[in-house]
Structure 1
């Protein structure tokens, strides 16, 4: 039977789901998530250009090559660059300067080839997820981001590309599990963005070909899991590398942008340049704590920034279940440890949570309903597992049930359902 793909290209992880068309008026058939790497239905949105063997690796294989110290270029969180000025730049991969649109296209090509091997058929059409807002402050940049993603998908070989808002897709998948009508609030906290939608769902509505009237409101902010990583990194690890240090004469602090960029997933690669290395060596000569800048220099010389970010991310995940942990970065030549508590983490990220709360308020206001009208809150995305985020998303809805959702697959499966409806 013919099936249609929905592709959730995420900042941190990606999924592909196949939706199956059904006769008009029939209930949707649950989509199938493809195994994208071994048996795993998710693949980290990462590439590694291995300069030792000339092979480009994707997902967990890319992360493994990088962590093992192979000579090459590691790329992750490319979705965060869409709509920004960085999309107009090129980055050095070996001896080749490559645009970020081409890099995203190469990752999407890998997914399309996986899809075609699974279905043994050409993959020409796809419904892709998109956040409600790629870029908060500019409608023009937001449109550019969607156009850039569509162009990268065409670069990958897709010919018919349509988009669906990611929280709407999650609501469509949730709908396959309900037995009566309800008003559902989707809270989708991804790696780079947070998206929200208020949608009426029911078994009867699921059979309708056009669902626009059932989407009461949606909203989004450019806050995601990588932002929580960044602020934890800045608060607990970057001071060990020089952030907040003074010059030896006590007259000024060291520039902060080097450390902020080292804590930001999609900006780390831009630090690996002769100029930045020279800058750090110059700062070291006048720093009150030059040993800390020795550590920063190690990160530059060994291209270790993403390994440090990974250690911070792992600690953030542990703080979901633990009140305190230790962030530990260790590799030949350098070991750095710093304690981190959930209390400190929540203090460092309070502004992010406040922005998420504001976006939820905007959805309710846009729909013209009160919190007591919401029947179900659907939490999806890895960032929704952060305790402060889940509290913020559910506390104002004491009468709503918190609906179980696949944190990493709900959006992709909803896109697969949408693809079956659109392309049938």
Structure 2
């Protein structure tokens, strides 16, 4: 017998869930008994082993020689999807790398269930790509192709915020208008949904979705903004050439702050360009440190350290960023205000998209009964405070930020493909 499951392939973490014979959804243990697995691969150069999830991160952190790949979802629908990355003598396309990770999810789910899984409802953001319906459709097609190539025969899609609403609906006792705010690693999605115990039994809920909207802003953008504001200046960003006539090129710093673009710096031409920049720079030692960092392929580790600082600022007013590069240490104090300021534009885009979602639904903020926050980026204090301030009269519901979408997708799979034993 085969199972129908929900698959939440996230920018940062992934889950798979199913509805059991008791009608209750639960997430499958995908790694070390945990229901989440980081969406990460590590290609080991020393032993030619591909590791996934926490094992991939652990191997990388030890300093093992290899290539770490994450934020894979971010390349869907972009020109980068056609790129490849070299792993020793072999070149892997991004679609192939996606397939490797999804195949691993399928294998682990089947091991947990003790039977095959060939039917799946995949989560998708409201917009993979902003303001580009053609690219957005291409992104879903690319993801579906990667999923189908791993042996899934029956595939459907559901918006991630709708899945979160399905999970929340299990606890409601009366009809409510809910705004689901799903701030993930790569996208921010919003949906107004009518929920109730009676409606929960319906297989077709399309009429209860009053409006959806999304914007391509998420946790990886916040990491990049923090890096550009506080870390990249330590490597020369914002400094001038010796003649004082122009600033150093921004593009390499942007690439070094953006996880899925870092590999573009690991080639001879990029290093030649940086060495030319160094010769012209007033702050030449800083640029030389950047060159050393890239020569040692520390880019992904640097972004990981910035992300760790961001997470620390969820609970602390100040954190000390320290990152070793050969015999030097990049050090800078980062305060919560340092982080909040670069986020201003992103928060405005999130607020504007929420306002557009309400407009499409024909509602005003005071008519929202429940504000449902899901996705790891809702834990960023500056964002959480602004969201709550927008809906002071609504019930605040903080979901399992990493699990609610997977649970809702499992429920959707059971409804669309029938009960699973």
With the length of structure 1 as denominator, give the TM-score of the two structures.
Answer: 0.96
Tell me, yes or no, if the aligned pair for 1:329 and 1:335 is still in contact at 8 Å.
Answer: yes
User: How far apart, CA to CA, are the structure 1 residues paired with 2:151 and 2:60?
Assistant: 28
Please give the residue correspondences for 1:280-299 in structure 2 after superposition, counting only pairs within 5 Å: 280-299=274-293
1:200 alignment partner in structure 2: 194
Tell me, yes or no, if the aligned pair for 1:30 and 1:176 is still in contact at 8 Å.
Answer: no
2:316 alignment partner in structure 1: 322
- 1:364 to 2:358 alignment: yes
Structure 1 position 156, deviation (Å): 2.0
Q: 2:183 aligns with which of 181, 189, 192?
A: 189
- 1:341 to 2:311 alignment: no
- 1:154 to 2:148 alignment: yes
Please give the residue correspondences for 1:103-114 in structure 2 after superposition, counting only pairs within 5 Å: 103-114=97-108
1:18 and 1:49, CA in 2 relative to 1: closer, same or farther beyond 3 A?
A: same
Tell me, yes or no, if the aligned pair for 1:15 and 1:42 is still in contact at 8 Å.
Answer: yes
1:74 and 1:128, CA in 2 relative to 1: closer, same or farther beyond 3 A?
A: same
Gaps of 5+ in 1: 23-28
User: How far apart, CA to CA, are the structure 1 residues paired with 2:172 and 2:4?
Assistant: 23
Please give the residue correspondences for 1:5-404 in structure 2 after superposition, counting only pairs within 5 Å: 5-20=5-20, 29-330=23-324, 332-404=326-398
- 1:409 to 2:384 alignment: no
User: How far apart, CA to CA, are the structure 1 residues paired with 2:68 and 2:354?
Assistant: 35
- For the residue of structure 2 that corresponds to 1:258, the secondary structure is helix
For 1:306-349, what per-residue CA distance to the aligned partner results, in whole angstroms no more than 9, with x for missing partners?
11111111111111121221222136533211111111211111
Equivalent pairs, count: 418
Structure 1 position 181, deviation (Å): 1.3
Out of 141-150 and 176-185, give the one that drifted further.
176-185
Tell me, yes or no, if the aligned pair for 1:4 and 1:20 is still in contact at 8 Å.
Answer: no
User: How far apart, CA to CA, are the structure 1 residues paired with 2:97 and 2:191?
Assistant: 30
User: How far apart, CA to CA, are the structure 1 residues paired with 2:99 and 2:140?
Assistant: 13
- For the residue of structure 1 that corresponds to 2:116, the secondary structure is coil
User: How far apart, CA to CA, are the structure 1 residues paired with 2:76 and 2:311?
Assistant: 26
- For the residue of structure 2 that corresponds to 1:349, the secondary structure is helix
